[in-house]
Amino acid sequence: MPATPDQIPTNLTLEIGENLSPERFIATARAFFGYVHELAELLVPQGEHLNWTVKVKEGSALLAVDPTPSAPKELVRLIYARAESGIRHLINRDIENAGLPEPALRHLRTLAEMTEAGPNKAAPVPIRFWIERKPISLEPAIASVIREEWRADYNDYGTIEGRLEAIQESRGTLQFFIRDALLHLRVRCYFPEDLLPGVFDKFRKRVEASGIIHYRKNGVPISIEAEQIIGLPDDSELPTAEDVRGILGG
């Protein structure tokens, strides 16, 4: 039975339909918590942190989060508003104005894919967000519009700068991620075996990767096939405004 407003425990709750396998339930829970985390990362001022408590209502499929009492109310309202507007824009196939970073879109795609039906898919499961105790049903269109947006539209040679993270091997292919915190970009970087020692040496450092970049149609880079990776000075090593003034004055 679908939940009613009086059953919803917090202002940010996920309602999950019945007949979900344990594996899909865990994936759904991770995606929900991940979506909330990414919204907080996007909106919480730098240097501050917002803590949440998790609530699971007994006898129901309701996953809920609630900010701690010390959380600024205006900030929490901003997170609720962005959570709702992002979903509604995607339902309307308007990904450009959703205002969501790529990791948040990835989590929403996971949740929306649970609602999809198809010959090679498990049975669809209804999923609803309850934001300030008002429901929004997730739709398969959300997953399809994100997948469509992430298809590479064109390629070009160029460079990507950012912090080197998460070195891994997947199906025999070496890769890592370059994160640009300022632009909220996380670009997958594929690289050949001969660059591996240098990649390990530059782990968690700022780098510049050069190679063929795959872009979405809106110009946002999806991935790069790196041919060269060079280290860049860390932010702490860059000249300060005072240093620059001293140079100019001299």
pLDDT digits (tens, 9 = 90+) for 53-63: 998 876 568 99
Domain residue ranges in the chain:
5-150, 154-236
DSSP H or E segment with residue 137:
strand 134-137
**What is the share, in percent, of the chain residues with pLDDT greater than 90?**
56
- State mean pLDDT over 154-168: 91
Interatomic CA distance for residues 87 and 245, integer angstroms: 47
pLDDT tens per residue, range 94-134: 887 898 888 899 999 999 999 988 666 778 899 999 999 99
Task: Give the pTM.
Answer: 0.65
Contact (Cβ atoms closer than 8 angstroms) between residue 138 and residue 112: yes
Contact (Cβ atoms closer than 8 angstroms) between residue 187 and residue 160: yes
Q: What are phi and psi of 90, to 5 degrees?
A: -70, -35
Check if CATH label 2.40.50.140 holds for domain 154-236. Answer: yes
Interatomic CA distance for residues 101 and 107, integer angstroms: 10
Burial of 64 (0-12, 13-18, 19+ CB in 10 A): buried
